[in-house]
Amino acid sequence: MMPIWTKSGKKHAVTLLKVQDCHVLKYISKEESGGKTSKLLVGGKNTSPFYKTESAMEIFKAAGVPRKQKVTTFNVTEDALIKPGTPLYAAHFRPGQYVDVTAKTIGKGFQGVMKRWGFKGQPASHGQTKTHRRPGAISTNKAAKVYRGKKMPGKMGNIYRTSFGLKVWRINTKHDIIYVNGSVPGHTNCLVKVKDSRLPTYKDCNKNPPFPTFFADGDEKLPEDLYDEEIFQFTDPSVTY
Amino acid sequence: FSSSGYRVSSNGNAAKFQPPPKPIIVDKQKQKEEKRFLSPEFIPPRGRKDPLKFYIERKDMIRRRKVFNIPEFYVGSILAVTTADPYASNKASRFVGICIQRGGRGLGATFVLRNVIEDQGVEICYELYSPRIQAIEVLKLEKRLDDNLMYLRDALPEYSTFDVNMKPVTHLDHEEIPVNKLQVRMKPKPWSKRWERPKYNIKGIKFELPEEKMKEAQKWSQPWLEFDMLREYDTSKIEEKIWREVNEELKK
């Protein structure tokens, strides 16, 4: 995470996400998947092809791509289909766009009810016998049962969670890095899924996105760094009012 | 009778031939290279982060340093900082103070300046790379016995007062940075932190506490810490590499 300053002098915290060897793996049509739209399977970081069965490696062999550590699905419309095997770069996103970032949260193990659900517990003194961090009552008398989904101690973390509506401040095309506003679920160097935001406020945010994606061997030559308009460039003199 | 070996000086006394004094060649280039100062925020902390992130941050820091001069200073030097302030009359505010702490790494590096203005202690934490800072001047470049002068909060106020209009003290390039071995006198206890305890390792306080209190403070010493190999973080090689990289970029 890094600080970023706007032209008015305000500071924002930014998370750096690196796009590491992303390739499109497979195209699943609408009828095959049974959903509303067709799907594209996308794979992340490269890992070793050993320690995996032949059947699992079939998808990677068909796309002609080394084995990936993580495979996710994206729901895509018919006009945005990409051929399996094409690499995906950070320039697919542009500064000023809003994204949702999904990742597995940091696993905290088996945790009690105070840390997991934020219960208040009981006082430390004034006669409490062996009861300081317990949940207390779990249901009422009339119910005569405990409802499903009752908040109780259990394994906390290590589940997929999404941060919605994060602004993209800057894109580094040379090293494939996306600068995303605020914090993102997951530990450092964990694998993360970045999608265009589904929030209704940001529906019309992206004016000219690279459609269907940014192709490195295409005609467009991008500069090494793409900035949002509001970012203070370090080559400018200091801010004055 | 030969007079070759003798010269008659202006006084009239016979003086032996004195060869002209040899010129002292001061090689400024060599002297500048010998003095290596790398600002502490360039040194990456120990962790699992990708070194690429620190490399990119360093590139941004160098870009800012090319436009805006961040001078060399240490904890204990007296600085004057002018920042852009939308609510001030001149749109700029100047603060003079002693640097008591330098924290943070990378672009978020900060330094805290302390001064006592009209009997009120004031501490301001500035970010080194913030675009609102318009000038940083070093009024007096010196070091102190400690890396962290937070104990000045519990010291007598005379040790934290500095004249707001003080003139900058000149410091020649080739001289070593002076170490001020001042031992500060404290206000009566209670203090904000127990500065006599060995974990703070403070050398710059003149403790006027009784012997038993000093002995009792040593109960919290952890003498095994200096031998703990897992805590070792040798930054000498990293510093050299980064220093060379930063200097090359700054010269361009």
CB contact under 8 A, B127 and A3: yes
- Label residue A57 left, alpha or beta by phi (over 0 means left) and psi (-120 to 50 means alpha): alpha
Given a cut of 90, whether residue A147 has pLDDT beyond it is yes
Assess if residue A233 is contained within a domain.
no
Q: Tens digit of pLDDT for each residue in A44-87?
A: 899 888 877 777 788 898 889 999 999 999 999 888 889 999 99
Q: How far is A234 from chain B (nearest CA, A)?
A: 5
Of the ranges A198-207, A210-219, B216-225, which one carries the lowest mean pLDDT score? Answer: A210-219
The answer to whether B83 and B126 have CB atoms below 8 angstroms apart is yes
The answer to whether B130 and B111 have CB atoms below 8 angstroms apart is no
Q: How far is B136 from chain A (nearest CA, A)?
A: 12
CATH topology assigned to domain B68-221: SH3 type barrels. (2.30.30)
Tokens 């103070």 sit at which residue? B97
What are the distances in angstroms from CA B193 to CA A162, B11, B110?
41, 73, 22
Where in the sequence is the domain holding A148, given as residue range(s)?
A: 108-156
Q: Which residues of B touch A9 (CB under 8 A)?
A: 84, 130-132
CB contact under 8 A, B91 and A240: yes
CA pair distance A180, A193, nearest whole angstrom = 13
* Residues A40 and A136 reside in one and the same domain: no
Burial class (CB in 10 A: 0-12, 13-18, 19+), A68: buried
Residue A56 at interface with chain B, using a CB cutoff of 8 Å: no
- Mutation for A interface: B107, B125, B136, most A CBs within 10 A: B107
CB contact under 8 A, B91 and A5: no
Q: Which residues of B touch A172 (CB under 8 A)?
A: 56
CA pair distance A80, A27, nearest whole angstrom = 11
How many helices (H) and strands (E) chain B has is answered by: 4, 9
Spans of all domains in chain B: 68-221
Given a cut of 70, whether residue A160 has pLDDT beyond it is yes
The predicted pLDDT at position A203 comes to 87
Residue A9 at interface with chain B, using a CB cutoff of 8 Å: yes
The predicted pLDDT at position B77 comes to 95
- Among A3, A172, A239, the residue with its CB nearest the CB of B84 is A239
Q: How far is B18 from chain A (nearest CA, A)?
A: 58
Q: Report pTM.
A: 0.85
What's the average model confidence in pLDDT over A100-105?
A: 96
CA pair distance B77, A75, nearest whole angstrom = 59
Which residue in A69, A159, A152 sits closest to A106, CA to CA?
A159
* Residues A11 and A47 reside in one and the same domain: yes
Which residues, in sequence order, are CB contacts of B177 under 8 Å at separation 6+? B74, B141, B142, B143, B171
* Residues A217 and A114 reside in one and the same domain: no
* Residues A192 and A115 reside in one and the same domain: no
CB contact under 8 A, A177 and B56: yes
The interface predicted TM-score (ipTM) is: 0.89
The predicted pLDDT at position B13 comes to 57
DSSP β-ladder status, B179-180 and B143-144: parallel
What value, to the nearest 5°, has the Cα angle with vertex B191 and ends B180 and B162?
A: 40
Residue A138's pLDDT band (cuts 50, 70, 90): very high
Residue A81 at interface with chain B, using a CB cutoff of 8 Å: no
Assess if residue A237 is contained within a domain.
no
Residue A50 at interface with chain B, using a CB cutoff of 8 Å: no
Which residues, in sequence order, are CB contacts of A161 under 8 Å at separation 6+? A102, A103, A104, A105, A185
Measure the N-to-C terminal CA separation of chain B; round to a whole number of Å.
Answer: 68
In A85-239, at which residue ranges do the beta strands (DSSP E only) sit? Answer: 87-88, 98-104, 109-111, 154-156, 160-172, 177-181, 192-196, 225-227
* Residues A6 and A70 reside in one and the same domain: yes
Query: What are B122's strand-pairing partners?
Result: B115
Taken in order A183, A186, A191, A197, is the CA torsion positive or negative? negative
* Residues A137 and A42 reside in one and the same domain: no
Residue A237's pLDDT band (cuts 50, 70, 90): confident
pLDDT by 10s per residue, chain B, length 252: 555 555 555 555 567 888 888 887 777 666 655 678 899 999 999 989 999 999 999 999 999 999 998 999 999 999 999 999 888 888 889 999 999 999 999 999 999 999 999 999 999 999 999 999 999 999 999 999 999 999 999 999 999 999 999 999 988 877 788 999 999 999 998 999 999 999 999 999 999 999 999 999 999 999 999 999 999 999 999 999 999 999 999 888
- Domain with residue A32: its CATH number is 3.30.160.810
The predicted pLDDT at position B179 comes to 93
Given a cut of 80, whether residue A2 has pLDDT beyond it is yes
Helix, strand, coil proportions of chain A in percent (round to 5)? 10, 30, 55
* Residues A13 and A120 reside in one and the same domain: no
Cite the DSSP H helix spans in chain B. 28-34, 51-67, 211-217, 236-251
For residue B78, give the amino acid letter.
Answer: I
